[in-house]
Structure 1
Amino acid sequence: MPTDQYEFGDPRSRYPDVSPEPQTQPEPGLQSRMTPVPDLGEDSYRGTGRLAGRKALITGADSGIGAAVAIAYAREGADVALAYLPDEQEDADHVIEQIRAAGRTAVAIPGDLRDRSYAGRLVEEAVAGLGGLDALVSVAGKQRWQPDLLDITDEQFEETFDVNVFALFRLVKAALPHLQPGSTIITTASMEAYQPAPDRLDYAATKGAINNFSKGLSQLLVERGIRVNIVAPGPTWSVLQVTGGVDPESLPEFGSSESPMGRAGQPAELAPAYVFLASQESSFVAGETLNVNGGMVTP
Protein backbone atom coordinates (compact mmCIF):
# COMPACT_ATOMS: atom_id res chain seq x y z
CA MET A 1 0.00 0.00 0.00
CA PRO A 2 1.29 3.52 -0.71
CA THR A 3 2.20 5.72 2.25
CA ASP A 4 0.17 8.48 0.59
CA GLN A 5 -1.40 9.28 -2.78
CA TYR A 6 1.75 11.07 -3.93
CA GLU A 7 4.14 8.16 -3.47
CA PHE A 8 5.83 7.10 -6.72
CA GLY A 9 5.34 3.49 -7.82
CA ASP A 10 4.18 1.01 -10.45
CA PRO A 11 0.38 1.48 -10.84
CA ARG A 12 -0.09 -2.23 -11.56
CA SER A 13 1.07 -3.19 -8.08
CA ARG A 14 0.32 0.01 -6.16
CA TYR A 15 -2.55 -1.82 -4.52
CA PRO A 16 -2.79 -5.63 -4.36
CA ASP A 17 -5.10 -7.64 -6.58
CA VAL A 18 -7.88 -8.35 -4.08
CA SER A 19 -8.89 -11.77 -5.53
CA PRO A 20 -11.80 -11.93 -3.07
CA GLU A 21 -13.39 -15.21 -2.11
CA PRO A 22 -17.03 -15.71 -3.16
CA GLN A 23 -19.19 -13.92 -0.59
CA THR A 24 -22.66 -12.44 -0.38
CA GLN A 25 -24.55 -10.04 1.85
CA PRO A 26 -28.16 -8.89 1.71
CA GLU A 27 -28.61 -5.37 0.33
CA PRO A 28 -27.42 -2.79 1.22
CA GLY A 29 -24.58 -4.67 2.92
CA LEU A 30 -21.79 -3.49 5.21
CA GLN A 31 -18.29 -2.77 4.01
CA SER A 32 -16.86 -3.61 7.43
CA ARG A 33 -17.93 -7.24 6.92
CA MET A 34 -16.28 -7.69 3.52
CA THR A 35 -13.17 -9.81 2.95
CA PRO A 36 -10.91 -7.99 2.30
CA VAL A 37 -12.23 -4.63 3.50
CA PRO A 38 -11.89 -1.95 0.78
CA ASP A 39 -9.25 0.73 1.26
CA LEU A 40 -10.81 4.17 1.76
CA GLY A 41 -7.48 5.92 2.17
CA GLU A 42 -7.73 6.02 5.96
CA ASP A 43 -3.98 5.40 6.28
CA SER A 44 -2.82 6.97 3.04
CA TYR A 45 -4.79 10.02 1.92
CA ARG A 46 -2.84 13.20 2.73
CA GLY A 47 -4.63 16.50 2.32
CA THR A 48 -3.02 19.75 1.24
CA GLY A 49 -5.85 22.25 1.80
CA ARG A 50 -7.27 22.05 -1.72
CA LEU A 51 -10.89 22.30 -0.48
CA ALA A 52 -10.40 24.55 2.52
CA GLY A 53 -13.70 26.00 3.71
CA ARG A 54 -15.85 24.07 1.26
CA LYS A 55 -19.22 22.57 2.21
CA ALA A 56 -20.04 19.28 0.48
CA LEU A 57 -23.01 16.92 0.41
CA ILE A 58 -22.01 13.39 -0.61
CA THR A 59 -24.43 10.53 -1.28
CA GLY A 60 -23.36 6.96 -0.66
CA ALA A 61 -20.85 8.35 1.84
CA ASP A 62 -20.89 5.39 4.21
CA SER A 63 -18.73 3.05 2.14
CA GLY A 64 -16.84 2.51 -1.09
CA ILE A 65 -16.12 5.45 -3.37
CA GLY A 66 -18.46 7.83 -1.55
CA ALA A 67 -16.75 7.14 1.79
CA ALA A 68 -13.28 7.57 0.29
CA VAL A 69 -14.40 10.90 -1.20
CA ALA A 70 -15.81 12.04 2.15
CA ILE A 71 -12.54 11.26 3.93
CA ALA A 72 -10.46 12.94 1.22
CA TYR A 73 -12.65 16.05 1.22
CA ALA A 74 -12.34 16.39 5.00
CA ARG A 75 -8.58 16.04 4.87
CA GLU A 76 -8.53 18.71 2.16
CA GLY A 77 -10.38 21.07 4.50
CA ALA A 78 -14.06 20.60 3.62
CA ASP A 79 -17.00 20.03 5.94
CA VAL A 80 -19.16 17.11 4.83
CA ALA A 81 -22.81 16.06 5.00
CA LEU A 82 -23.18 12.31 4.52
CA ALA A 83 -26.21 10.64 2.90
CA TYR A 84 -26.65 6.90 3.34
CA LEU A 85 -29.25 4.27 4.19
CA PRO A 86 -30.11 3.82 7.89
CA ASP A 87 -29.01 0.16 7.69
CA GLU A 88 -25.51 1.38 6.81
CA GLN A 89 -24.99 3.29 10.07
CA GLU A 90 -22.13 1.05 11.21
CA ASP A 91 -20.07 1.93 8.15
CA ALA A 92 -21.13 5.58 8.30
CA ASP A 93 -19.90 5.86 11.90
CA HIS A 94 -16.40 4.86 10.75
CA VAL A 95 -16.37 7.58 8.08
CA ILE A 96 -17.76 10.19 10.47
CA GLU A 97 -14.95 9.34 12.88
CA GLN A 98 -12.39 9.92 10.10
CA ILE A 99 -13.93 13.28 9.15
CA ARG A 100 -13.97 14.54 12.73
CA ALA A 101 -10.42 13.32 13.30
CA ALA A 102 -9.44 15.63 10.43
CA GLY A 103 -10.94 18.51 12.41
CA ARG A 104 -13.92 18.97 10.10
CA THR A 105 -17.69 18.93 10.60
CA ALA A 106 -19.60 15.76 9.73
CA VAL A 107 -23.39 15.95 9.35
CA ALA A 108 -25.09 12.54 9.19
CA ILE A 109 -28.39 12.47 7.28
CA PRO A 110 -29.57 8.87 6.80
CA GLY A 111 -32.48 8.15 4.46
CA ASP A 112 -33.60 6.37 1.32
CA LEU A 113 -33.01 8.07 -2.04
CA ARG A 114 -36.12 6.33 -3.38
CA ASP A 115 -38.20 8.47 -1.02
CA ARG A 116 -39.12 11.59 -3.01
CA SER A 117 -39.33 13.71 0.13
CA TYR A 118 -35.80 12.73 1.20
CA ALA A 119 -34.03 14.84 -1.42
CA GLY A 120 -35.48 18.07 -0.10
CA ARG A 121 -34.93 17.13 3.54
CA LEU A 122 -31.39 15.99 2.77
CA VAL A 123 -30.42 19.28 1.18
CA GLU A 124 -32.10 21.41 3.83
CA GLU A 125 -30.43 19.52 6.68
CA ALA A 126 -27.08 19.66 4.90
CA VAL A 127 -27.36 23.42 4.43
CA ALA A 128 -28.39 23.91 8.05
CA GLY A 129 -25.66 21.66 9.42
CA LEU A 130 -22.86 22.97 7.22
CA GLY A 131 -23.92 26.60 7.09
CA GLY A 132 -24.34 26.46 3.33
CA LEU A 133 -23.61 24.22 0.38
CA ASP A 134 -21.18 24.56 -2.53
CA ALA A 135 -20.52 20.98 -3.65
CA LEU A 136 -23.02 18.24 -4.48
CA VAL A 137 -21.37 14.86 -5.05
CA SER A 138 -23.63 12.01 -6.19
CA VAL A 139 -22.05 8.59 -5.69
CA ALA A 140 -24.80 6.32 -4.30
CA GLY A 141 -26.02 3.67 -6.70
CA LYS A 142 -27.89 0.40 -7.06
CA GLN A 143 -26.42 -2.48 -9.04
CA ARG A 144 -27.95 -5.94 -9.38
CA TRP A 145 -26.51 -8.83 -11.38
CA GLN A 146 -28.98 -10.91 -13.40
CA PRO A 147 -27.82 -13.63 -15.82
CA ASP A 148 -30.75 -13.18 -18.22
CA LEU A 149 -32.95 -10.29 -19.33
CA LEU A 150 -36.03 -12.25 -18.27
CA ASP A 151 -34.69 -12.29 -14.71
CA ILE A 152 -34.86 -8.48 -14.46
CA THR A 153 -38.21 -7.63 -12.92
CA ASP A 154 -40.06 -4.38 -13.49
CA GLU A 155 -39.49 -3.63 -9.79
CA GLN A 156 -35.72 -4.04 -10.09
CA PHE A 157 -35.53 -1.96 -13.26
CA GLU A 158 -37.58 0.83 -11.69
CA GLU A 159 -35.63 0.77 -8.42
CA THR A 160 -32.30 0.96 -10.24
CA PHE A 161 -33.41 4.01 -12.22
CA ASP A 162 -35.03 5.55 -9.15
CA VAL A 163 -31.84 5.37 -7.05
CA ASN A 164 -29.33 6.09 -9.82
CA VAL A 165 -31.12 8.62 -12.04
CA PHE A 166 -34.35 10.03 -10.61
CA ALA A 167 -32.81 10.69 -7.19
CA LEU A 168 -29.98 12.60 -8.86
CA PHE A 169 -32.54 14.74 -10.70
CA ARG A 170 -34.39 15.48 -7.46
CA LEU A 171 -31.18 16.28 -5.58
CA VAL A 172 -29.96 18.71 -8.22
CA LYS A 173 -33.31 20.53 -8.16
CA ALA A 174 -33.26 20.74 -4.38
CA ALA A 175 -29.64 21.88 -4.20
CA LEU A 176 -29.65 24.40 -7.03
CA PRO A 177 -31.21 27.34 -5.08
CA HIS A 178 -28.33 27.05 -2.58
CA LEU A 179 -25.45 26.85 -5.07
CA GLN A 180 -23.59 30.07 -5.80
CA PRO A 181 -21.12 30.77 -8.63
CA GLY A 182 -18.01 28.67 -7.99
CA SER A 183 -20.03 25.70 -6.75
CA THR A 184 -19.64 22.25 -8.27
CA ILE A 185 -21.78 19.22 -8.99
CA ILE A 186 -20.01 15.90 -9.51
CA THR A 187 -21.88 12.79 -10.61
CA THR A 188 -20.79 9.17 -10.94
CA ALA A 189 -21.15 7.28 -14.19
CA SER A 190 -19.22 4.09 -14.99
CA MET A 191 -17.18 2.33 -17.60
CA GLU A 192 -20.44 0.52 -18.29
CA ALA A 193 -21.85 3.69 -19.81
CA TYR A 194 -19.56 2.80 -22.74
CA GLN A 195 -19.24 -0.98 -22.41
CA PRO A 196 -22.48 -2.25 -20.87
CA ALA A 197 -22.18 -5.57 -19.10
CA PRO A 198 -24.83 -7.97 -20.48
CA ASP A 199 -25.67 -9.19 -16.97
CA ARG A 200 -26.15 -5.65 -15.61
CA LEU A 201 -28.25 -4.05 -18.34
CA ASP A 202 -30.38 -1.84 -16.12
CA TYR A 203 -27.39 -0.57 -14.15
CA ALA A 204 -25.40 0.14 -17.31
CA ALA A 205 -28.35 2.00 -18.82
CA THR A 206 -28.58 4.26 -15.76
CA LYS A 207 -24.89 5.07 -16.01
CA GLY A 208 -25.31 6.10 -19.63
CA ALA A 209 -28.24 8.27 -18.55
CA ILE A 210 -26.20 9.89 -15.76
CA ASN A 211 -23.38 10.68 -18.17
CA ASN A 212 -25.77 12.23 -20.69
CA PHE A 213 -27.83 14.12 -18.10
CA SER A 214 -24.71 15.55 -16.48
CA LYS A 215 -23.22 16.77 -19.74
CA GLY A 216 -26.45 18.55 -20.64
CA LEU A 217 -26.72 19.94 -17.13
CA SER A 218 -23.18 21.30 -17.38
CA GLN A 219 -24.17 23.40 -20.38
CA LEU A 220 -27.23 24.71 -18.57
CA LEU A 221 -25.49 25.62 -15.29
CA VAL A 222 -22.20 26.98 -16.59
CA GLU A 223 -24.10 30.20 -17.27
CA ARG A 224 -24.60 30.45 -13.50
CA GLY A 225 -20.93 29.82 -12.78
CA ILE A 226 -21.65 26.28 -11.55
CA ARG A 227 -19.49 23.51 -12.96
CA VAL A 228 -20.86 19.98 -13.52
CA ASN A 229 -18.51 17.07 -14.18
CA ILE A 230 -18.59 13.28 -14.08
CA VAL A 231 -16.30 10.55 -12.76
CA ALA A 232 -16.59 7.19 -14.53
CA PRO A 233 -15.00 4.42 -12.43
CA GLY A 234 -13.91 1.07 -13.76
CA PRO A 235 -14.14 -2.09 -11.62
CA THR A 236 -13.73 -0.93 -8.02
CA TRP A 237 -13.83 -3.16 -4.94
CA SER A 238 -16.85 -2.06 -2.91
CA VAL A 239 -19.93 -3.38 -1.14
CA LEU A 240 -21.87 -3.27 -4.44
CA GLN A 241 -19.98 -6.38 -5.53
CA VAL A 242 -20.98 -8.54 -2.56
CA THR A 243 -24.67 -7.56 -2.43
CA GLY A 244 -25.64 -9.12 -5.74
CA GLY A 245 -23.94 -6.56 -7.94
CA VAL A 246 -21.93 -9.24 -9.72
CA ASP A 247 -21.99 -13.02 -9.94
CA PRO A 248 -20.53 -14.14 -6.57
CA GLU A 249 -18.61 -16.96 -8.28
CA SER A 250 -16.76 -14.39 -10.42
CA LEU A 251 -15.37 -12.47 -7.44
CA PRO A 252 -11.95 -14.19 -7.35
CA GLU A 253 -11.30 -12.73 -10.80
CA PHE A 254 -13.00 -9.39 -10.16
CA GLY A 255 -11.28 -6.67 -12.14
CA SER A 256 -8.25 -8.73 -13.11
CA SER A 257 -9.62 -9.75 -16.52
CA GLU A 258 -11.24 -6.39 -17.34
CA SER A 259 -8.60 -3.85 -16.43
CA PRO A 260 -5.34 -3.67 -18.41
CA MET A 261 -3.63 -3.14 -15.06
CA GLY A 262 -4.73 -6.62 -14.09
CA ARG A 263 -6.59 -5.69 -10.92
CA ALA A 264 -9.62 -3.91 -9.54
CA GLY A 265 -9.29 -0.39 -8.19
CA GLN A 266 -9.65 0.61 -4.57
CA PRO A 267 -11.99 3.44 -3.48
CA ALA A 268 -8.93 5.39 -2.29
CA GLU A 269 -7.75 5.55 -5.92
CA LEU A 270 -10.99 7.19 -7.05
CA ALA A 271 -11.10 9.93 -4.41
CA PRO A 272 -8.43 12.21 -5.98
CA ALA A 273 -10.52 12.57 -9.15
CA TYR A 274 -13.43 13.92 -7.12
CA VAL A 275 -11.09 16.25 -5.23
CA PHE A 276 -9.71 17.64 -8.48
CA LEU A 277 -13.16 18.28 -9.95
CA ALA A 278 -14.34 20.08 -6.79
CA SER A 279 -11.18 22.17 -6.45
CA GLN A 280 -10.38 25.44 -8.16
CA GLU A 281 -7.60 23.64 -10.01
CA SER A 282 -10.32 22.44 -12.39
CA SER A 283 -11.88 25.89 -12.86
CA PHE A 284 -11.85 25.52 -16.68
CA VAL A 285 -13.28 21.99 -16.63
CA ALA A 286 -17.03 21.51 -17.18
CA GLY A 287 -19.02 18.75 -18.82
CA GLU A 288 -16.03 16.41 -18.58
CA THR A 289 -16.17 12.67 -17.92
CA LEU A 290 -13.02 11.71 -16.05
CA ASN A 291 -12.44 8.00 -16.52
CA VAL A 292 -10.65 6.27 -13.65
CA ASN A 293 -10.66 2.67 -14.79
CA GLY A 294 -7.20 1.12 -14.85
CA GLY A 295 -6.57 1.74 -18.53
CA MET A 296 -9.83 0.60 -20.13
CA VAL A 297 -10.15 2.54 -23.39
CA THR A 298 -13.24 4.73 -23.79
CA PRO A 299 -14.69 6.51 -26.86
Structure 2
Amino acid sequence: MKEDHGMNVFGGGLNYTGLMVDIQQLCKLYPYIDTGSIGNTVCGREIPYLRIGRGAKEIHFNGAFHANEWITTPMLIQFIKEYADAYSHGKLLYGVDARELYYQSSLWVVPMVNPDGVELILDKPPKGMEGRLMQWNGGSADFSGWKANIRGVDLNDQFPANWEMERDRRQVTNPGPRDYTGIAPETEQEAIAMVKFTRERDFSLVIAFHTQGEEIYWNYNGLEPAISERIAERLAEVSGYRAIKLTGSDAGYKDWFIQEFRRPGFTVELGSGSNPLPYLEFDQIYPKAAAIMVEALRT
Protein backbone atom coordinates (compact mmCIF):
# COMPACT_ATOMS: atom_id res chain seq x y z
CA MET A 1 0.00 0.00 0.00
CA LYS A 2 1.48 3.34 -1.05
CA GLU A 3 1.68 6.51 1.01
CA ASP A 4 -0.13 9.61 -0.31
CA HIS A 5 1.65 12.93 0.21
CA GLY A 6 0.41 14.75 -2.90
CA MET A 7 0.67 18.52 -2.50
CA ASN A 8 -0.81 19.68 -5.79
CA VAL A 9 -3.41 22.04 -4.37
CA PHE A 10 -6.78 21.32 -5.91
CA GLY A 11 -8.14 24.72 -6.77
CA GLY A 12 -10.41 26.51 -9.18
CA GLY A 13 -9.58 29.57 -7.09
CA LEU A 14 -9.63 30.81 -3.53
CA ASN A 15 -12.94 32.67 -3.56
CA TYR A 16 -16.49 31.36 -3.43
CA THR A 17 -16.71 30.83 -7.19
CA GLY A 18 -13.51 28.82 -7.08
CA LEU A 19 -14.85 26.76 -4.20
CA MET A 20 -17.99 25.85 -6.11
CA VAL A 21 -15.88 24.85 -9.14
CA ASP A 22 -13.73 22.67 -6.88
CA ILE A 23 -16.78 20.98 -5.39
CA GLN A 24 -18.22 20.28 -8.83
CA GLN A 25 -14.92 18.79 -10.01
CA LEU A 26 -14.43 16.73 -6.85
CA CYS A 27 -17.88 15.20 -7.14
CA LYS A 28 -17.24 14.41 -10.82
CA LEU A 29 -13.88 12.78 -10.10
CA TYR A 30 -15.12 10.94 -7.02
CA PRO A 31 -18.86 10.21 -7.38
CA TYR A 32 -19.05 8.78 -3.85
CA ILE A 33 -18.53 12.29 -2.42
CA ASP A 34 -21.90 13.80 -1.51
CA THR A 35 -22.59 17.52 -1.57
CA GLY A 36 -25.45 19.85 -0.71
CA SER A 37 -26.23 23.08 1.07
CA ILE A 38 -26.79 23.81 4.76
CA GLY A 39 -28.53 27.11 3.98
CA ASN A 40 -27.99 30.51 2.40
CA THR A 41 -25.97 33.59 3.29
CA VAL A 42 -27.29 37.14 3.61
CA CYS A 43 -26.42 37.71 -0.07
CA GLY A 44 -28.17 34.51 -1.11
CA ARG A 45 -25.13 32.30 -1.65
CA GLU A 46 -25.53 28.65 -0.76
CA ILE A 47 -23.30 27.41 2.04
CA PRO A 48 -22.07 24.07 0.70
CA TYR A 49 -21.12 20.91 2.52
CA LEU A 50 -19.26 17.81 1.36
CA ARG A 51 -19.48 14.33 2.80
CA ILE A 52 -16.96 11.53 2.38
CA GLY A 53 -17.09 8.18 4.13
CA ARG A 54 -19.83 5.72 4.97
CA GLY A 55 -19.06 4.83 8.56
CA ALA A 56 -21.49 5.13 11.45
CA LYS A 57 -19.27 7.59 13.34
CA GLU A 58 -20.06 11.11 12.13
CA ILE A 59 -17.40 13.83 12.31
CA HIS A 60 -17.54 17.46 11.23
CA PHE A 61 -14.87 19.97 10.12
CA ASN A 62 -15.52 23.57 9.09
CA GLY A 63 -13.54 26.59 7.94
CA ALA A 64 -13.77 30.30 7.13
CA PHE A 65 -16.08 31.32 9.95
CA HIS A 66 -13.94 34.46 9.77
CA ALA A 67 -13.59 36.04 6.37
CA ASN A 68 -9.89 36.83 6.65
CA GLU A 69 -9.20 33.20 7.55
CA TRP A 70 -10.18 32.09 4.04
CA ILE A 71 -7.04 29.93 3.72
CA THR A 72 -8.82 27.31 5.84
CA THR A 73 -11.15 26.63 2.89
CA PRO A 74 -8.50 25.36 0.42
CA MET A 75 -6.95 23.42 3.32
CA LEU A 76 -10.20 21.50 3.75
CA ILE A 77 -10.75 21.04 0.01
CA GLN A 78 -7.20 19.76 -0.45
CA PHE A 79 -7.70 17.27 2.36
CA ILE A 80 -10.91 15.93 0.84
CA LYS A 81 -9.14 15.58 -2.50
CA GLU A 82 -6.21 13.68 -0.97
CA TYR A 83 -8.54 11.52 1.11
CA ALA A 84 -10.67 10.62 -1.91
CA ASP A 85 -7.61 9.86 -4.04
CA ALA A 86 -6.11 7.67 -1.31
CA TYR A 87 -9.41 5.80 -0.90
CA SER A 88 -9.82 5.29 -4.64
CA HIS A 89 -6.31 3.93 -5.12
CA GLY A 90 -5.85 1.99 -1.92
CA LYS A 91 -3.17 4.34 -0.58
CA LEU A 92 -2.23 5.42 2.89
CA LEU A 93 -3.34 8.87 3.98
CA TYR A 94 -0.60 10.26 6.21
CA GLY A 95 0.22 6.78 7.44
CA VAL A 96 -3.37 5.59 7.83
CA ASP A 97 -5.39 3.24 5.62
CA ALA A 98 -7.85 5.57 3.84
CA ARG A 99 -10.31 2.75 3.16
CA GLU A 100 -10.39 1.86 6.83
CA LEU A 101 -11.19 5.50 7.67
CA TYR A 102 -13.85 5.58 4.95
CA TYR A 103 -15.82 2.67 6.40
CA GLN A 104 -15.34 3.68 10.03
CA SER A 105 -16.52 7.28 9.80
CA SER A 106 -18.54 9.78 7.80
CA LEU A 107 -16.82 13.14 7.45
CA TRP A 108 -19.04 16.18 6.88
CA VAL A 109 -17.16 19.34 5.85
CA VAL A 110 -18.47 22.90 5.57
CA PRO A 111 -15.43 24.49 3.92
CA MET A 112 -16.66 28.10 3.87
CA VAL A 113 -19.13 29.15 6.57
CA ASN A 114 -18.88 32.84 5.62
CA PRO A 115 -18.91 33.12 1.80
CA ASP A 116 -20.11 36.74 1.74
CA GLY A 117 -17.25 37.84 3.98
CA VAL A 118 -14.68 35.92 1.95
CA GLU A 119 -15.97 37.50 -1.26
CA LEU A 120 -15.73 40.95 0.34
CA ILE A 121 -12.03 40.39 0.97
CA LEU A 122 -11.07 38.55 -2.22
CA ASP A 123 -13.37 40.32 -4.70
CA LYS A 124 -15.39 43.45 -3.91
CA PRO A 125 -18.33 44.72 -1.83
CA PRO A 126 -21.83 43.78 -3.01
CA LYS A 127 -23.44 46.37 -5.22
CA GLY A 128 -25.37 48.90 -3.17
CA MET A 129 -23.53 48.09 0.07
CA GLU A 130 -20.21 49.78 -0.68
CA GLY A 131 -20.87 52.93 1.35
CA ARG A 132 -22.29 51.13 4.37
CA LEU A 133 -19.44 48.61 4.47
CA MET A 134 -16.80 51.32 4.18
CA GLN A 135 -18.46 53.18 7.03
CA TRP A 136 -18.41 50.06 9.20
CA ASN A 137 -14.77 49.58 8.14
CA GLY A 138 -13.71 52.96 9.52
CA GLY A 139 -13.93 54.66 6.14
CA SER A 140 -11.41 52.33 4.53
CA ALA A 141 -11.85 50.46 1.24
CA ASP A 142 -9.25 47.93 2.40
CA PHE A 143 -11.25 44.96 3.69
CA SER A 144 -8.30 42.56 4.04
CA GLY A 145 -8.69 42.44 7.83
CA TRP A 146 -12.46 41.88 7.78
CA LYS A 147 -13.55 38.91 9.94
CA ALA A 148 -17.33 39.40 10.10
CA ASN A 149 -20.14 38.45 7.77
CA ILE A 150 -21.54 40.99 5.31
CA ARG A 151 -23.72 42.52 8.06
CA GLY A 152 -20.69 43.25 10.21
CA VAL A 153 -21.40 40.48 12.74
CA ASP A 154 -18.71 38.07 13.95
CA LEU A 155 -20.20 34.67 13.19
CA ASN A 156 -18.07 32.92 15.81
CA ASP A 157 -19.66 35.09 18.51
CA GLN A 158 -23.18 34.12 17.48
CA PHE A 159 -23.87 30.93 19.39
CA PRO A 160 -25.98 30.49 22.55
CA ALA A 161 -23.14 29.62 24.92
CA ASN A 162 -22.99 32.50 27.42
CA TRP A 163 -23.49 34.90 24.53
CA GLU A 164 -24.22 37.81 26.90
CA MET A 165 -20.86 37.37 28.58
CA GLU A 166 -19.07 37.50 25.24
CA ARG A 167 -21.05 40.61 24.22
CA ASP A 168 -20.09 42.36 27.45
CA ARG A 169 -16.48 41.26 27.11
CA ARG A 170 -16.20 42.49 23.53
CA GLN A 171 -17.87 45.87 24.21
CA VAL A 172 -18.43 46.40 20.49
CA THR A 173 -21.87 47.91 19.99
CA ASN A 174 -22.05 48.41 16.21
CA PRO A 175 -21.43 46.38 13.06
CA GLY A 176 -17.84 46.35 11.93
CA PRO A 177 -14.96 44.24 10.67
CA ARG A 178 -14.62 42.19 13.88
CA ASP A 179 -15.87 41.41 17.39
CA TYR A 180 -19.47 42.61 17.04
CA THR A 181 -21.64 39.85 18.49
CA GLY A 182 -24.93 41.10 17.02
CA ILE A 183 -28.00 41.99 19.05
CA ALA A 184 -28.62 38.38 20.14
CA PRO A 185 -27.35 34.88 19.44
CA GLU A 186 -28.44 33.22 16.20
CA THR A 187 -29.49 36.40 14.40
CA GLU A 188 -27.30 35.72 11.37
CA GLN A 189 -28.35 33.33 8.62
CA GLU A 190 -24.97 31.62 8.51
CA ALA A 191 -24.96 30.91 12.26
CA ILE A 192 -28.57 29.71 12.13
CA ALA A 193 -27.64 27.35 9.29
CA MET A 194 -24.71 25.92 11.28
CA VAL A 195 -26.89 25.32 14.34
CA LYS A 196 -29.57 23.57 12.26
CA PHE A 197 -27.00 21.49 10.36
CA THR A 198 -25.30 20.38 13.59
CA ARG A 199 -28.55 19.49 15.33
CA GLU A 200 -29.65 17.39 12.34
CA ARG A 201 -26.55 15.21 12.56
CA ASP A 202 -25.07 13.01 15.27
CA PHE A 203 -21.52 14.33 15.34
CA SER A 204 -19.21 12.58 17.78
CA LEU A 205 -16.52 15.24 17.27
CA VAL A 206 -16.22 18.63 15.56
CA ILE A 207 -13.30 20.87 14.60
CA ALA A 208 -13.59 24.52 13.60
CA PHE A 209 -10.46 25.62 11.73
CA HIS A 210 -9.25 29.17 12.27
CA THR A 211 -5.86 30.83 11.75
CA GLN A 212 -3.57 32.30 14.34
CA GLY A 213 -1.26 30.78 16.88
CA GLU A 214 -0.73 27.05 16.13
CA GLU A 215 -2.95 26.16 19.07
CA ILE A 216 -5.74 23.67 19.79
CA TYR A 217 -8.56 24.71 22.15
CA TRP A 218 -10.48 21.77 23.58
CA ASN A 219 -12.49 22.83 26.62
CA TYR A 220 -15.52 24.89 27.57
CA ASN A 221 -16.48 25.68 31.17
CA GLY A 222 -15.79 22.13 32.33
CA LEU A 223 -18.61 20.78 30.17
CA GLU A 224 -16.34 18.83 27.81
CA PRO A 225 -15.97 15.06 28.30
CA ALA A 226 -12.79 13.82 29.94
CA ILE A 227 -11.56 12.35 26.65
CA SER A 228 -11.35 15.80 25.03
CA GLU A 229 -8.03 16.66 26.65
CA ARG A 230 -6.51 13.33 25.60
CA ILE A 231 -7.67 13.84 22.02
CA ALA A 232 -6.25 17.38 22.03
CA GLU A 233 -2.91 16.02 23.20
CA ARG A 234 -2.92 13.54 20.32
CA LEU A 235 -3.75 16.29 17.83
CA ALA A 236 -0.93 18.36 19.29
CA GLU A 237 1.51 15.47 19.08
CA VAL A 238 0.94 14.82 15.37
CA SER A 239 1.02 18.51 14.43
CA GLY A 240 3.50 20.13 16.79
CA TYR A 241 0.78 22.56 17.90
CA ARG A 242 -0.01 23.33 21.56
CA ALA A 243 -3.11 22.00 23.30
CA ILE A 244 -4.49 24.93 25.31
CA LYS A 245 -7.10 24.98 28.07
CA LEU A 246 -8.83 28.23 27.13
CA THR A 247 -10.64 30.62 29.46
CA GLY A 248 -12.39 33.96 28.92
CA SER A 249 -14.04 33.05 25.62
CA ASP A 250 -17.71 32.29 24.94
CA ALA A 251 -20.35 32.12 22.20
CA GLY A 252 -18.17 30.28 19.67
CA TYR A 253 -19.22 27.28 17.62
CA LYS A 254 -16.93 24.95 19.58
CA ASP A 255 -18.25 26.35 22.86
CA TRP A 256 -21.87 25.82 21.88
CA PHE A 257 -21.23 22.29 20.57
CA ILE A 258 -19.59 21.23 23.83
CA GLN A 259 -22.32 22.89 25.90
CA GLU A 260 -25.21 21.38 23.97
CA PHE A 261 -23.90 17.91 23.18
CA ARG A 262 -21.21 17.29 25.85
CA ARG A 263 -18.98 15.81 23.17
CA PRO A 264 -15.45 16.68 22.02
CA GLY A 265 -15.25 19.97 20.16
CA PHE A 266 -12.10 21.79 19.10
CA THR A 267 -10.95 25.06 17.65
CA VAL A 268 -7.70 24.63 15.74
CA GLU A 269 -5.70 27.78 15.03
CA LEU A 270 -3.60 27.05 11.95
CA GLY A 271 -0.37 28.93 11.32
CA SER A 272 0.88 32.10 12.93
CA GLY A 273 1.78 35.63 11.95
CA SER A 274 -0.39 38.11 10.10
CA ASN A 275 -4.03 37.57 9.22
CA PRO A 276 -4.88 36.75 6.54
CA LEU A 277 -2.06 34.24 6.36
CA PRO A 278 -0.17 34.55 3.06
CA TYR A 279 -1.17 31.84 0.62
CA LEU A 280 2.53 31.25 -0.01
CA GLU A 281 2.57 29.55 3.42
CA PHE A 282 -0.02 26.95 2.37
CA ASP A 283 2.53 24.18 1.73
CA GLN A 284 4.10 24.78 5.12
CA ILE A 285 0.84 24.81 7.07
CA TYR A 286 -1.14 22.14 5.24
CA PRO A 287 0.71 18.96 6.32
CA LYS A 288 0.13 19.84 10.00
CA ALA A 289 -3.54 20.54 9.32
CA ALA A 290 -3.88 17.26 7.43
CA ALA A 291 -2.23 15.33 10.26
CA ILE A 292 -4.77 16.82 12.67
CA MET A 293 -7.67 15.85 10.41
CA VAL A 294 -6.48 12.26 9.98
CA GLU A 295 -5.94 11.87 13.72
CA ALA A 296 -9.42 13.27 14.40
CA LEU A 297 -10.92 10.71 12.03
CA ARG A 298 -9.12 7.95 13.91
CA THR A 299 -10.66 8.83 17.29
Report the TM-score when normalising by structure 1: 0.37
Q: Which has the higher strand share?
A: 2
TM-score relative to the length of structure 2: 0.37
